[in-house]
Amino acid sequence: MYPNLNAELARKGWNKKILANKINKRYATLIDKLNGKTDITYHECLAIKAALETDLSVETLFYTH
């Protein structure tokens, strides 16, 4: 759902389980949020951006098409 986020995860060599651990979320919760089953908050987006240490903006990181 978020191709730029997936690209950043790949660059870091991370999977979504690693990301979930980095932001202190249950894996299932993170997956539900990234798949659109539940809403992802701006605060959560910022936490993901910080964990990835990316220069991409939040808007770019969470771009959907």
Kindly report, residue by residue over 10-29, the tens digit of the pLDDT: 999 999 999 999 999 999 99
* Per-residue pLDDT reduced to its tens digit, 42-64: 999 999 999 999 999 999 999 99
Rounded to whole angstroms, the Cα distance separating 38 from 25 reads 14
Cα maximum dimension of the chain: 27
CA distance 46 to 65: 20
Give the global pTM.
0.94
